[in-house]
């Protein structure tokens, strides 16, 4: 299996607050495949997502991140987003006074095409959003969030679905989902799983999923599974390792499968 | 009236406890004769444009009437419905003997040198009343324009909403960007009668050196509702105001909202005070202040509970955009008896990096992200505001050129 790599981490070292978190991670993400990043709490999984997105507090101290063959280290978050990288946040901040539906309307690719003079567009004016928007809210069962301030008082499950919807609206080439399934009840889990499956089946998006859930990875038929531990990639394989991982836990699993 | 003049005269040098003291003598009076007419088409195109900046549009079809005053003496007014009456205050005093019971009743004539100055030299102002039982959904518009430099503009307004009536009034106070200093003194007395409802939306847009000292108060009777919505998004020389609402009737209600976007080297001192004097009275004060450039903002709020069974909440939120700006929130709660429920919440913060990161990851530029956060912060949904007025407010916020980052 040697598809085209859309995104590559090369010997990536990342520090936050001058504390090293990632200590040399190399991973190739293949175009339009599903990649899982798993590992114990605090191992640096989320840091990988944040470093790819370009969070300013996460400094790349060594190594590189290549997107479509070119380094994106000097690109701003905005630039990376516009290049086609999107991240569903685990703990997104509240944005007071900005309604979720108006916001999605502002950021969504289709809406931007629909009204071409972006500079002249204002929030609240973009009511002519494609019916997709209303549809999306309904499909994800978050119609109640439409005219709420972004993330204000959202439950964990509501955040997951709102994040997923926003990321989908961006039509990204690379979609990074940081624990898209945490805090979901069974029904929501199914809903999110089904939505992600649709994206996978459409085959036009590279997915990077950070999760602890065997269910979602098996359901999505993850192509690759990487285990991160203590800031390093300690294992790569495919979804066939998931049952063992669940049975033994990370520590025992890694002991049994000594590096590579 | 003679008594009032006397009281005013005695208070002519009385300093206000809050705000820098202004030397009133440096501002001139206009020589122009008083004129008043009902043909609003006589307003110059250039003046109309200035009015539109504060949400006043005489062409607007959905309006119940209009009052426009330019500088001291040019007045245009026109009531488009029998349900409301609009008159220049000078004419109203002549016409109605009973108006003396309202004139300087909510506001004390000798409160300070500014109230005094308005009594001693009145230029004009509006008298607006919604007649008993009339519910007027279309807003009445008023505009007070200060166009000429170095002059003063002394205004006295009286608004009466009679029993069971409903009135929505939007007032734009505006100065085109004149470089000379000018002074605006505005007295406004609101009377909300039994089961009546008034929403008062005021949008200010002043010049860099305009000095502004409004003095207003409201008296709300049983079951009455008074909603005050104040917005200033422009430079100003120095502005200080502290409107007071007296909830005198049982189950009366007052809500005061203000949005202040401080720019340049302006000084804004804006308060709100609600005195709950009756059982079941309810009050709410919400202010949002944004400090950009080198602006200085004081957000004051004062709740006084005098009767058991009344309830009020105060909320002051500030957002600091510049290291050179200063925000001060001064909330005060005062209970004079048991059974009074008062609460407050005051915060001052800045735009969090986390918020910027989040919005930028959705493809917004840093500047777009900043302005979205600020505009969101300024957004207050005022209950009971007719949609056209909410739009006026939203437009004012939307069209503000944000500075400070």
Are B365 and A78 within 8 A, CB to CB? yes
Query: Has residue B395 been placed in a domain?
Result: no
DSSP strand pairing (A19-30 vs A5-16): antiparallel
Of A53, A87, A124, the CB nearest to B394: A124
CA distance B383 to B381: 6
Whole-complex ipTM: 0.92
For B57-68, what is each residue's pLDDT tens digit? Answer: 877 677 889 999
Residue of B nearest to A165 (CA): B362
Which range, of A189-193, B237-241, B399-403, averages the lowest pLDDT? B399-403
What does the domain layout of chain A look like in residue ranges?
A: 5-94+172-188+204-256
Query: Looking at chain B, how many residues does it have?
Result: 405
For B33-44, what is each residue's pLDDT tens digit? Answer: 677 777 777 888
Average pLDDT over residues B125-129: 97
CATH top class, domain A5-94+172-188+204-256? alpha beta
Are B375 and A55 within 8 A, CB to CB? no
Q: Which residues of A are less than 8 Å from B364 in CB distance?
A: 78, 106-107
Confidence band, pLDDT 50/70/90 cuts, at residue A116: very low
Work out whether the CA dihedral A221, A222, A227, A231 comes out positive or negative. Answer: negative
Q: Which residue has the higher pLDDT, B394 or B5?
A: B5
Query: Has residue B365 been placed in a domain?
Result: no
Confidence band, pLDDT 50/70/90 cuts, at residue B50: confident
Query: Has residue B209 been placed in a domain?
Result: yes
Nearest-neighbour CA in chain A from B35: distance (Å): 41
Query: Has residue B399 been placed in a domain?
Result: no
Q: Which helix (H) or strand (E) holds B117?
A: helix B113-120
Q: Which of B122, B144, B161 is nearest to B51 (CA)?
A: B144
Q: Which of A41, A46, A42, A37 is nearest to A235 (CA)?
A: A37
For A12-35, what is each residue's pLDDT tens digit? Answer: 999 999 999 999 999 999 999 999
Query: Has residue B391 been placed in a domain?
Result: no
Average pLDDT over residues A72-92: 96
Query: Has residue B15 been placed in a domain?
Result: yes
Q: Which residues of B are less than 8 Å from A55 in CB distance?
A: 357
DSSP strand pairing (B210-220 vs B238-241): parallel
Assign B334 to helix, strand or coil.
strand
Query: Has residue B172 been placed in a domain?
Result: yes
Query: Has residue B359 been placed in a domain?
Result: no
pLDDT at B224 over 90: yes
Q: Which residues of B are less than 8 Å from A124 in CB distance?
A: 394, 398
pLDDT at A165 over 70: yes
Instruction: Check if the beta carbon of residue B225 is closer than 8 Å to that of residue B252.
Output: yes
Confidence band, pLDDT 50/70/90 cuts, at residue A215: confident
Distances (CA, A) of B168 to B135, B142, B186: 9, 11, 19
Instruction: Check if the beta carbon of residue B280 is closer than 8 Å to that of residue B312.
Output: no
Nearest-neighbour CA in chain A from B373: distance (Å): 7
DSSP state string for A160-227 = HHHHHHHHHHT--SEEEEESTTTT--HHHHHHHHHHHHHHHHHT--EEEEE-S-HHHHHHHT-SEEEE
Q: Which residues of A are less than 8 Å from B372 in CB distance?
A: 95, 98, 123
Average pLDDT over residues B299-310: 97
Confidence band, pLDDT 50/70/90 cuts, at residue A124: very low
Confidence band, pLDDT 50/70/90 cuts, at residue A62: very high
Average pLDDT over residues B377-394: 85
Instruction: Check if the beta carbon of residue B78 is closer than 8 Å to that of residue B44.
Output: no
Work out whether the CA dihedral A70, A75, A80, A82 comes out positive or negative. Answer: negative
Predicted local confidence at residue A70, as pLDDT:
97
Instruction: Check if the beta carbon of residue A37 is closer than 8 Å to that of residue A210.
Output: yes
CA distance A99 to B134: 35
Predicted local confidence at residue B45, as pLDDT:
85
Give how many domains chain B has, as a whole number: 1
Predicted local confidence at residue B374, as pLDDT:
93
Work out whether the CA dihedral B42, B229, B390, B321 comes out positive or negative. Answer: positive
Q: Which of B252, B161, B155, B213 is nearest to B24 (CA)?
A: B213
Predicted local confidence at residue B41, as pLDDT:
78
pLDDT at A53 over 50: yes
Q: Is B353 in CB contact (< 8 Å) with chain A?
A: yes
Of chain B, the end-to-end C-alpha distance in Å amounts to 52
Give the position of tokens 């494609």.
A130
Average pLDDT over residues A167-184: 93
Nearest-neighbour CA in chain A from B375: distance (Å): 8
Q: What percent of chain A has pLDDT over 70?
A: 90
Query: Looking at chain A, how many residues does it have?
Result: 260
Residues in contact with B47: Cβ distance below 8 Å, sequence separation at least 6, in sequence order: B70, B145, B147
Nearest-neighbour CA in chain B from A97: distance (Å): 4
Q: Is B365 in CB contact (< 8 Å) with chain A?
A: yes
Average pLDDT over residues B191-209: 96
CA distance A179 to A165: 14
Predicted local confidence at residue B62, as pLDDT:
78
Domain containing residue B170: 2-352
Mean pLDDT across chain A:
88
Of A56, A89, A123, the CB nearest to B353: A56
Are B373 and A95 within 8 A, CB to CB? yes
């Amino acid at each position: 299996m040697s598809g085209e790599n859309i995104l590559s981490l090369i010997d990536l070292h990342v520090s936050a607050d001058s504390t090293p978190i990632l200590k040399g991670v190399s991973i190739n993400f293949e175009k339009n495949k599903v990649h899982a990043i798993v590992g114990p709490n605090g191992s640096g999984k989320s840091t990988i997502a944040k470093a790819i997105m370009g969070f300013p507090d996460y400094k790349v101290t060594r190594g590189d991140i290549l997107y479509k063959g070119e380094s994106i280290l000097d690109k701003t978050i905005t630039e990376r987003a516009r290049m086609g990288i999107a991240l569903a946040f685990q703990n997104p901040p509240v944005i007071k006074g900005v309604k979720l539906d108006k916001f999605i309307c502002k950021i969504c690719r289709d809406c931007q095409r629909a009204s071409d003079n972006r500079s002249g567009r204002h929030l609240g004016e973009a009511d002519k959003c494609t019916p997709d928007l209303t549809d999306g809210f309904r499909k994800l069962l978050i119609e109640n969030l439409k005219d709420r301030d972004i993330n204000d008082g959202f439950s964990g499950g509501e955040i997951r679905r709102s994040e997923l919807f926003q990321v989908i609206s961006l039509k990204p080439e690379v979609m990074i989902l940081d624990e898209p399934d945490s805090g979901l009840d069974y029904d929501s889990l199914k809903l999110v799983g089904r939505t992600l499956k649709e994206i996978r089946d459409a085959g036009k998006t590279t997915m990077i999923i950070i999760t602890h859930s065997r269910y979602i990875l098996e359901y999505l038929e993850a192509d690759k599974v990487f285990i991160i531990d203590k800031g390093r990639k300690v294992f790569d394989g495919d979804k066939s390792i998931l049952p063992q991982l669940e049975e033994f836990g990370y520590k025992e699993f890694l002991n049994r499968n000594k590096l590579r | 009236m003679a008594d009032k003049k006397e009281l005013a005269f005695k208070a002519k040098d009385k300093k206000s406890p809050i705000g820098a003291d202004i030397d009133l003598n440096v501002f001139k009076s206009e020589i122009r004769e008083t004129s008043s007419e009902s043909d609003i088409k006589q307003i110059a195109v250039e003046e109309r444009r200035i009015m539109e900046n504060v949400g006043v549009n005489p062409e607007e079809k959905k309006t119940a009437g209009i009052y426009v005053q330019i500088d001291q003496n040019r007045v245009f007014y026109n009531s488009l419905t029998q349900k409301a009456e609009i008159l220049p205050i000078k004419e109203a005093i002549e016409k109605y003997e009973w108006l003396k019971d309202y004139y300087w009743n909510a506001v004390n004539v000798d409160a300070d040198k500014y109230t005094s100055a308005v009594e001693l030299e009145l230029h004009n102002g509006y008298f607006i009343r919604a007649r008993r039982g009339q519910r007027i959904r279309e807003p009445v518009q008023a505009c007070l324009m200060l166009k000429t430099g170095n002059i003063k503009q002394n205004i006295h307004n009286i608004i009466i909403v009679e029993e069971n009536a409903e009135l929505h009034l939007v007032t734009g106070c505006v100065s085109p960007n004149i470089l000379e200093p000018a002074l605006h003194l505005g007295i406004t007395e609101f009377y909300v009668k039994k089961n009546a409802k008034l929403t008062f939306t005021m949008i200010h847009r002043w010049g860099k050196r305009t000095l502004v000292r409004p003095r207003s108060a409201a008296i709300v009777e049983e079951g009455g509702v008074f909603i005050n919505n104040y917005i200033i998004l422009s430079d100003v020389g120095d502005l200080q105001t502290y409107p007071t609402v007296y909830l005198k009737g049982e189950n009366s209600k007052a809500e005061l909202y203000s949005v202040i976007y401080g720019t340049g080297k302006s000084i804004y001192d804006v308060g709100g005070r609600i005195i709950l004097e009756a059982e079941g009275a309810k009050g709410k004060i919400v202010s949002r202040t944004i400090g950009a450039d080198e602006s200085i903002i004081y957000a004051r709020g004062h709740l006084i509970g005098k009767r058991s069974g009344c309830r009020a909440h105060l909320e002051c939120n500030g957002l600091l955009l510049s290291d050179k700006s200063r925000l001060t929130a001064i909330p005060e709660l005062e209970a004079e008896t048991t059974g009074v429920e008062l609460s407050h919440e005051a915060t001052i913060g800045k735009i969090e990096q986390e918020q910027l990161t989040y919005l930028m990851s959705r493809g917004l530029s840093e500047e777009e992200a900043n302005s979205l956060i600020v505009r969101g912060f300024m957004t207050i949904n005022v209950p009971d505001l007719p949609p056209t007025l909410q739009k006026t407010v939203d437009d004012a916020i939307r069209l503000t050129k944000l500075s400070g980052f």
